Amino acid sequence: MDVPIPRPTTVPAVFRAAARLLAANGHHQGDYLPDPFNRRLKTPDAERPLSIVAAIRCVVTGVPRRFDPLAEEAIAVLAGRLEVDGEPAWNDEPDNLAIHVAAWGDVEGRTTECAVAVLYAAADATAVSL
């Protein structure tokens, strides 16, 4: 019997769920996930290393590339906390915010531990501000 995975319903819960997903499977630098067209891998998306953006979308929707208002809100909040090369996000357009978060995750040497720590810190900060 398959038991449905409960989906987070708040931004802090999204950050915590994404952090757990990355801690379990690893942080992927580059596109959303390795082998996105399943040419070699048959592993379910939620069991692969994911980018931060993909992890956020996956915990909310079950699919790393599917948009959802809660996932996009979480990405926007996270983008507001991150700098890339000393710069904040370019503007408040959803695509640019996702690109900014992805660029932060793609910095050379960025580790899974670092990505997980940032997500937990964002969860704690966001929960306090609510």
Hunting for tokens 């904040």 — which residue is that? 88
Q: How much is the mean pLDDT over the chain?
A: 87
For residue 78, pLDDT over 60 is answered with yes
Rounded to whole angstroms, the Cα distance separating 41 from 53 reads: 20
Confidence of residue 4 (pLDDT cuts 50, 70, 90): low
Confidence of residue 127 (pLDDT cuts 50, 70, 90): confident
Q: Which residues contact 115 (CB under 8 A, 6 or more apart)?
A: 19, 22, 27, 52, 105
